[in-house]
Amino acid sequence: MNLFQSTADLFIPDSTTMPGALVRTTHLGIGAHQDDLEFFAYHGIEACYGKPDAWFTGITCTDGAGSSRTGPYGHVTDQEMQAIRVDEQRKAAMVGDYAAMLQLDYPSSAIKDPANEHPVEDLTSILSIALPEVVYLHNPADKHDTHVAVFLRSLEAIRNLPEEKRPKQAWGCEIWRALDWLIDEDKGLLPTSARPNLQAALNGVFDSQIMGGKRYDLAVMGRRLANATFFDSHASDTETGMTFAIDLNPLIHGDSEDVVDFTLSHVERLKDDIELRLKKFR
């Protein structure tokens, strides 16, 4: 496996040699920035934590440049911030006991350029070795441009695999646009109640982002609690945390499915649901 960026970082917390570290992967997350995986793919991290037959591998696609910084990080240069964020992501991989953590170190502009084939080639190479059963991606309705671009590159890489080697399940998870707007039938429900101490530890690793001006640690936990509480108005809560996701299986197991039509169909079902309820009680 040869990654395009010479500065790409491969970290294996338990020092297992390659390719064994990747081959053991059962759950895999592909995120745009350092901290994205811990915020949207906790369901997969926890599913593997402490289990000898389940392993989570993380991929972060961009170099982490351009992040918000104030307070103790207000003086940090862009290059210094990139190094800090790589180190924080490595720490999260240790806390979460990941099988492997790969940071591809692309600038966002490279990821957003559909003519640049290198990110897709890297992702295809990693996926063809790891062959995960479950993947966690950004969702196609996210409002962050880099997140959407990473989603599209990830989808292309998965579709590059032979049908029989593709993940059995793919989830598009919420970060920069919550997915509570999906109608209930379209919501993928990923419980995140277990191990609140692990959640806090993973979120808290990213000090440069939290102390740098964004309380992601509080916001992520608040969203998970809100999702669990407001999901069903007529039933008592059975979870204290929930991540909502879009089931991406129609896209990864149906090459002819158009990603724009697929995504907008969820919006149309929300429109129909609102219209029906208003007309019913008008």
Please tell me the predicted confidence (pLDDT) of residue 66: 79
pLDDT of residue 212: 79
pLDDT > 90? residue 213 = no
**Nearest Cα to 56, choosing from 65, 46, 66?**
46
Per-residue pLDDT tens over the stretch 98-140? 999 999 999 999 999 999 999 999 999 999 999 999 999 999 9
What is the per-residue pLDDT for 273? 97
d(CA 231, CA 239): 10
Indicate if the pLDDT at residue 1 is higher than 80: no
Q: How far apart are CA 234 and CA 237, in angstroms?
A: 9
Cβ within 8 Å of residue 270, ≥6 positions away = 181, 182, 183
**How long, in residues, is the chain?**
282
Is it the case that residue 254 has pLDDT exceeding 90? no
Stretch 40-59: mean pLDDT, rounded? Answer: 98
Write out the DSSP string of 186-238: G-EEEE--S-HHHHHHHHHT-HHHHTTT--HHHHHHHHHHHHHHHS-TTS--S
Q: 9-281 in CATH: which number?
A: 3.40.50.10320
Q: What is the pLDDT of residue 72?
A: 87
Q: What is the pLDDT of residue 223?
A: 97
Dist. CA 252–CA 167, nearest whole Å:
8
The whole-number pLDDT of residue 82 equals 93
What pLDDT sits at residue 64?
A: 86
> Is 80 exceeded by the pLDDT of residue 255?
no
Q: How far apart are CA 177 and CA 51, in angstroms?
A: 32
CB crowding 233-257: b at 16 or more within 10 Å, else e: eeeeeebebbbbbbebbebbbeeee
Angle at 159 between CA 265 and CA 131, to 5 degrees: 120
Residues 26-38: tens digit of each pLDDT: 999 999 999 999 9
The two structure tokens encoding residue 79: 């290059």
- Please provide the average confidence, as pLDDT, over all residues in the chain: 95
Asked if residue 110 lies in contact with residue 116, where contact means CB atoms within 8 angstroms, the answer is yes
Report the C-alpha gap between 59 and 44 in whole angstroms: 13
Q: For residue 127, give the 3-state DSSP assignment.
A: helix
Instruction: For residue range 219-240, list pLDDT tens digits in order.
Output: 999 999 999 999 998 889 899 9
CA distance 218 to 200: 9
Task: Report the C-alpha gap between 156 and 152 in whole angstroms.
Answer: 6
From residue 267, alpha-carbon distances to 116, 180, 183, 276 in Å are: 30, 12, 9, 14
Q: What would the pLDDT profile of 145-183 be if each residue is shown by its tens digit?
A: 999 999 999 999 999 999 999 999 999 999 999 999 999
Per-residue pLDDT tens over the stretch 242-252: 999 999 999 99
Whole-number pLDDT of residue 269 = 98
